[in-house]
Structure formats: C-alpha cells, structure tokens
Structure 1
Amino acid sequence: MKWTVYLSGEIHTDWRQRIIQGATEHGLDIEFTSAVTEHEASDAAGDVLGKDENAFWRDHKSSKVNSIRTKNLIQKCDIAIIRFGDKYKQWNAAFDAGCCAALGKPYITLHADDIIHPLKEVDAAAMAWAQTPEQVVELLKYTING
C-alpha cells in the first residue's frame, strides 16, 4: 500500500527534505504532499482575483485560495507531519492540526521542547511528538513496515 503523508508547517528549514530523503533511503512507499512552500507565491495566491491594498483582504483572499489545496490534501492523507519552527508562529500549522483532529486523521508534531507548553493541546491530540526529522522517519518506518 502506498501511503500519503502530508507535510505541514514551517517553511524556512530543510525538515521536509530530510524526511523525504530518509523515507527514500529506507525504501518507504510514500507520496509526500504539502501546502505551497514558496512564501511569496502563497501570499499572492489570491492576487489573481484582484489586487488589494489592504493587507487583511489580500491575506484573506490568498488564505481561501490556499485552503482549496490544503483542505483536499489533508482529507486525502493517511498521516500528517506538522512542524512548528522557532522563528515564526505557525498558526496555519496549528489550524492544520485542528483539521486533522476533527477529521480523525493521525498526525505527528515536530518541534523543539521549548514550545511544549503553547502546543499542549495540539500535542495532546497528536499520535506522537518528535523533535527531529530523523525521529519522524523512524516513526513512519515503523508505521508502514510494522
């Protein structure tokens, strides 16, 4: 069975590539999906509907356009990996975690231990909390291969 793993969250480090590389090295049959990770493209997703000088309405339109992709990919995934980085607050990742929880989709959080407290509810609904991409690969290996 080919698994579909949705990669959500922080876009400023190489965690996605490390998980994909590790899964490939272990021969795991996984299709990885993700939101658009190019920051400018994501921010401009709604611009096709007309440019807006007000930042709120520009973000609002782009968020709705981006959600077409993310909602579908979350609904189709077998498991999600949700990464919270240390540089920015990833509210979108917290929202993705909530969607997974509401849909009964299993997810693994990936973050450092210094943000355990603000993520306590998100982690409580997760199937696991990992601190490194390599731990995520080991969890995927076990989940897929037993």
Structure 2
Amino acid sequence: MKLEVYLSGEIHTDWRDKIIQACQESDLDISFTSAVTHHETSDGAGDHLGAEEKQFWRDHKSAKVNAMKTKTLIERCDIAVIRFGDKYKQWNAAFDAGYCAALNKPYITLHSEDIIHPLKEVDASAQAWASSVEQVIATLKYISTK
C-alpha cells in the first residue's frame, strides 16, 4: 500500500532521517513530506513579501506563508507523525496535531514519557503514541504492508 507520511514537529534531532532511512531499507512504499526544518529559512518565509519594522509582523507574515505549505501537506498526507522533543516547546506541532484531528487525519505522536500529561489531549486524538523512532517505524511497516 502506497502511503504519504507527513513528518511534523521537533527539528533538533535526526528522527526524520532515521524513519525515512529505515522505511527505505525495508523497501516500504512510503513517501515523506515535512515542514521546513531549517530555522532561518522558516523564520524568513515571508521576507520576500517585504520588510517589516517589528519582529511581530515579520513572524506573522512568515507564519502565514509556512501555514500554506503545512496545511497543504497535511491535507495531502495519509498519516502524520508528530514529534514533541525535549529541548523546546513545539507549539507548531501541537497546532499540526489539532489540524489533523479536525480533518480526521490519522496521526502518531512521538514523545518521551515525561511529557505525557501536558500532551494528554493531543495523545487522546492520536491513533497511536510512540516513545521511540523504532515504534514509529514498526507502526508504519504494519500499516503499509499487505
């Protein structure tokens, strides 16, 4: 079964690369998409629309440009994997999870046990919670195999 998987959330570790590599090595028919994972590029996504004096308006403009990309990729995917890391609060990941839930789009959350409580609503709408990349890979293998 061909799957389109959207990878959302934390950008400070190589979790995306590990999932993609393992799925390729297992010859799974999965294609992956993701939001922009380079901070400076994401922060400046709206810069081509004109300079702003205040940081708020630069962030606001870039957030809207990024949202066009994110919404399009989430709407097109079959499943999303949403990673919440330890280093920063990933508000964008929580937003992506909410958007998936609103669209009735299946998603897997990926995070450590120490943040179960703050993510209880996000996890409650997820079809699966994984605490490791290996669990995500096993889930994708199960879903994509006939």
TM bracket, shorter-chain basis: over 0.9
Determine the C-alpha separation between the residues in 1 that align with 2:21 and 2:133: 10
Local SS of the residue matching 2:7: strand
Q: Output the CA distance in 2 between the equivalents of 1:70 and 1:2.
A: 21
Q: Cα offset for 1:145?
A: 1.0
Q: Give the Cα–Cα distance (whole angstroms) in 2 for the partners of residues 53 and 23 of structure 1.
A: 45
Match of 1:64 in 2: 64
Confirm whether residue 82 of structure 1 aligns to residue 82 of structure 2.
yes
Q: Indicate the residue corresponding to 2:49 in structure 1.
A: 49
Could you say what secondary structure the match of 1:81 adopts? strand
Q: 1:2 offset after TM fit, Å?
A: 1.7
User: Is 1:118 equivalent to 2:132 in the alignment?
Assistant: no
Give the ranges of 4+ consecutive aligned residues of structure 1 lying more than 6 Å apart after TM superposition.
none
Which moved further from structure 2: 64-73 or 46-55?
A: 46-55
Unaligned runs of 5+ in 2: none
Give aligned-pair identity as a percent.
Answer: 71
Note the C-alpha offset of 1:80: 0.1
Deviations 1:85-144 (A, max 9, x none): 000000000000000000010000000001000000000000010011111000000111
- How does the TM-score come out when normalised to structure 1? 0.98
* Number of residue pairs matched by the alignment: 146
1:108 is matched with which residue? 108
Q: Tell me if structure 1 keeps the 8 A contact 2:2–2:144.
A: no
Question: C-alpha distance in 2, partners of 1:30/1:143?
Answer: 10
Q: Please, what TM-score do these two structures have when normalized by structure 2? A: 0.98
Q: CA RMSD in A?
A: 0.8
Q: Which residue of 2 aligns with 1:5?
A: 5
Letter in 2 for 1:64: K
Query: What is the distance in 2 between the residues matched to 1:124 and 1:74?
Result: 19
